[in-house]
Amino acid sequence: MTYNSPQPAPQSVGIDGALFLPLRIIPVAKGDVLRMLSKGSPLLPEFSANFGELYFSEIRPHAVKAWKRHHRQTQHFAVPCGQIRLVLFDGRPASPTYGALAELILGRPDNYGLLRIPPEIWYGFAAMGTCPALICNCADIPHDPAESEKLPVDTPTIPFDWNSTDTQTAIVQNFRTGHAH
């Protein structure tokens, strides 16, 4: 998506409340400009009044950061450098997608965008390739360790095996082309 391209609508990733919005990449000869947040974004209509913090998280190749969920915080992830394999798990009993897994590849060149992760969704991610990946997280409330919890990477609570190289869900998708991987 280039500078003058119309802004597409957010796309569902198969988990209630989790949405992906492709973001603009503006080609520049000396290095591209990657958009992340702008006033009026369809993912962030209420966000300017509820800004909490913005931080970066680096993940090294072959490392896995999983599993975590926030009870009150909504997160917005973008991956400007590298690529990650990100998995969401809906453990909310009252959710219409209770028990669903969503597996996504985020980052350039095909899937640069903003992923909304609502409260109470378990998530984890791993860097793909041989270089570290950088995740930018723009959250609606500042970090508070008391409002989040973690599970071990191999928890039986979440039916996902990080050691497998096979795609374990049917939801891995290239959001720029719309084709499933």
The pLDDT of residue 177 is 42
Hey, CA dihedral for 173, 26, 28, 34, is it positive or negative? negative
Mean pLDDT by 10 residues, the chain (181 residues): 67 94 90 83 67 92 96 95 96 96 92 95 96 94 94 96 68 47 40
On whether residue 102 sits in a domain, the answer given is yes
User: Strand ranges (DSSP E) for the chain?
Assistant: 11-12, 19-22, 25-26, 33-34, 53-59, 64-70, 75-81, 83-90, 101-107, 113-117, 121-128, 133-139, 148-150
pLDDT for the residue 114: 93
Model-level pTM? 0.86
The verdict on residue 56 lying in a domain is yes
Host domain of residue 133: 11-150
The domain total for the chain is 1
pLDDT attached to residue 49: 66
What CATH number should be reported for the domain holding residue 113? 2.60.120.10
Q: Which candidate, 139, 22, 18, 5, places its Cα nearest to that of 90?
A: 18
Give domain status of residue 69, yes or no: yes
Residue 129 lies in a domain: yes
pLDDT for residue 82: 95
Q: Is residue 155 part of a domain?
A: no
Instruction: Report yes or no on 165 lying in a domain.
Output: no
Residue 73 domain-assigned (yes or no): yes
